[in-house]
Structure 1
Amino acid sequence: MRKDPTGRALQLLSLLQTHRLWRGAELAERLEVTERTVRRDVDRLRDLGYPVDATSGKDGGYRLAKGAHVPPLVLDDDEAVAVAVGLRYAAEAAIGGMEETSLRALTKIEQLLPYRLRRRVSALHSSVASMRWAADDVVVDPEALSVLAAACRDREDVRFDYRRRDGEDSRRLVQPHQLVTAGRRWYLVAWDQRRRDWRTFRLDRLREPRLAGSHFTPRQIPGGDAASFVASSLGSIPRHHEAKLTVNAAFAELEGVLRGVDHTPIEMEADSCSVQIRGEDLDWLAMTVARIALTAPVAVIEPAEVADTVRQLATHLTVSPP
């Protein structure tokens, strides 16, 4: 069946908005047309004001010009649903003001979605219940997050006030390398210039980050990976709560879900294992059990407080009938 030229042009624009270089043959194959038709559709987009660059030769192709002002963004069905769902759950990111901003943007996008896509988004929202966290002190200042992200990008030293685990305040001068997220927690991996060592900083304990006006040469993060470094750092922190679990899966299958969790394998069989996990509060342990349950059946052996918290979590997870 012959495709509508307008719909084909929109599909072409959606591909070009990835800002990668597309060869004419690739576009023709994706659009199921000839390369001559692709050239005509590119000209049509240019007539509409979209700046499409073209290069000839063996390595030539088409690319949407970077940094140019372009008309409204075009998303395919899956991209539109992903954006809508992502905005809904951005409200759970523990960033100050994010909930209101995300919901405003979501309202605008959902008004533009066709009925079939609104149904998909609605089904996802109605079938998942979010667990509200009681702790308010984990909220991160979005302005602080922006300052630190820019400092990591530009390799610029940063000063800030920091509240340690024992409640003592300290002033830091660091070389920020990377931000890491772990659930609702945000961490900064940085080289502490006064202590001459690597440190992990929780962003909700960090106040008034400001650029120091000097730049640094990047260092190699221990282990070569910021997320692994944070996981190792968290594992060395004394925990207030622990739980023993049995899981109907080989321990190797849990490697991904237990990454960033302070844990110790106790018994390992071919198709089951026992694991001890540790955390700062019961809610964190319960959410860890829930994440493991997405991989394999899991049971809490002890303590009773964690088992009760998991049962309470289960009663709040509901799925609407099909």
Structure 2
Amino acid sequence: MEQLDRALKLHQLLLDYRRPISQCLILERLECSSSTFKRLLDLLRDRYQAPIIWDRAARGYRYDTADGRFTLPGVWLTESEAFALLMANSLLQEVQPGLQQQGMAQLLVRIGELLGPQWQSQAERLRVESIGRQYVAPELFLPLVQALFTRHQLNFVYRATSHEAKVRQVSPQRLCWYRDNWYLLAWCHGRKALRLFALSRIAEPATLDEAACEREVSELDALFANGYGIFAGSALKRAELRFSPSAAPWVKDVQWHRDQIQTLKEDGYIHLSFPYADQRELVRDLLRFCGEVEVLSPSDLRQSVIAVMQAGLKRHEAETSVAQPMSQ
């Protein structure tokens, strides 16, 4: 693998230089000896029919082609590129199981040949744990991706959180991976607005012949640029939060929002401020720090957090009172 890696670097050197390159410069760039360089030349010339010649007039090596360029047959990767692709595949396999068998199996075989028999054990050193992921079947995922890139409209049955299933006709715009789950950002022709659809709630996707309508990139970016989390909105409020010192290790190095303002007080408390458009996701996140965070403002966010905490306490108190006679 090391020899092939250097051979590919030599190939790239010959492409990058507009004039013949001297052997001294090649040895310096490849950090190899003259004998190793000769072996690399033989490898490229014999196995890949690379037309590398010594130009006596220019006293350097070059490709013997009209434009001085040459394309190696097949797909060739350096060792670092191959390992990077292996890592990307491991991540993709965890993010969306099933795609490996359908799209990358043959490519992974080729990478295995490049890296040698030990590559599989090395790849297994990368461990990705996706907690809370909602399952999306590969046979559903791929049609959505194909419609997205071929720019066709889609029909599908969508079951929202209200559990009411409705048929939607959309023009897909973007596929989003957010907090271990897939979402489709699309223009909904029924609502005549951009909507976000959880892939786990989509069923019976069908690609239509109609071309997808295109939305401005600025419009797509603006949907998530200002507010907090996955819920979009244009009417922004600003959350003012105070975290206790015990929560500091889990708060101070976290980016809650791109426009957040964080202040570490002398007493160890952290003051955090950022904009949000919809409080649903924010309230759930704040409950993770239940006894360690205080919502200073706005008042409606503060009251929502208090109401959810009180409801939780009532539920636990009810369960406790029921359980007491059983323990006596």
Query: TM class by shorter-chain length?
Result: 0.5 to 0.7
Give runs of aligned pairs for residues 1-322 of structure 1, distance below 5 A.
Answer: 8-12=6-10, 15=12, 22-25=15-18, 28=21, 32-33=25-26, 44=44, 48=48, 56=67, 62=69, 64=71, 70-71=73-74, 73-93=75-95, 95-98=96-99, 113-114=115-116, 121=123, 124-125=125-126, 130-131=128-129, 133=131, 138-221=134-217, 223-225=219-221, 228=224, 234-235=230-231, 245=243, 246-247=247-248, 254-255=254-255, 258=256, 268-269=263-264, 273-275=270-272, 279=281, 301=292
The one-character-per-residue Cα deviations of 1:223-258 (angstroms, maximum 9, x if unpaired) are 442883697672359xxxxx985446997x744xx3
In 2, distance between residues paired with 1:164 and 1:173? 15
In 1, distance between residues paired with 2:222 and 2:176? 7
Q: Which shows bigger deviation, 179-188 or 73-82? A: 73-82
Shift of 1:159: 0.8
In 1, distance between residues paired with 2:218 and 2:202? 22
AA in 1 matched with 2:92: A
Change in Cα spacing, 1:249 to 1:107, as seen in structure 2 (3 Å) is closer
Shift of 1:166: 1.1
Task: Tell me the residue number matched to 1:309.
Answer: none
Shift of 1:190: 0.9
Q: How many aligned residue pairs are there?
A: 255
AA in 2 matched with 1:301: E
Change in Cα spacing, 1:41 to 1:273, as seen in structure 2 (3 Å) is farther
Shift of 1:196: 0.7
AA in 2 matched with 1:97: G
In 1, distance between residues paired with 2:47 and 2:113? 28
Q: Give TM-score, length-normalised by structure 1.
A: 0.55
Task: Tell me the residue number matched to 2:56.
Answer: none
AA in 2 matched with 1:9: A
SS at match of 1:64: coil
Mark the structure with the bigger radius of gyration.
Answer: 2
Shift of 1:194: 1.3
In 2, distance between residues paired with 1:154 and 1:195? 23
SS at match of 1:62: coil
In 2, distance between residues paired with 1:53 and 1:192? 56
Q: For the Cα contact (< 8 Å) 1:160–1:210, is it kept in 2? A: yes
Structure with the bigger RCO (C-alpha within 8 Å, sep 6+) is 1
Q: Identity of counterpart residues, as a percentage? A: 20
